Amino acid sequence: MATPEAFEADPSLVWEFYHYRRDVMGTKHPNRAHKALAEFQKKNPERFTLITQNIDRLHQAAGSTNVIEMHGSLWQTQCTKCGIAKENRTM
């Protein structure tokens, strides 16, 4: 599902897959690890950048800033025609 080829073959199926994932993630909350990292960052803002493979934005919901999402975000889409990115929901 998470490939350009899958999207090209069946865009509706891929959209449904990601809509479902966003619906599920909308019910989730940061855990203690997310909160601990956010607290550490608050105490060390100049020395800490959070680099994550997570696409759920739970680090930001816990209060982290300066987060690099290596694999993107469930909450941001980009038009395949014009390239404009859109935020679908903020946490």
Catalytic residue, from 29, 34, 59, 71: name it. 71
- Is 29 a catalytic site residue? no
Q: What are the Cα distances from residue 31, in Å, to 21, 39, 61?
A: 18, 13, 10
β-strand pairing of 67-69 with 85-87: unpaired
Cα dihedral 47→51→78→91 (10° resolution): -80
Q: Which helix (H) or strand (E) holds 86?
A: strand 85-87
Catalytic residues: 71
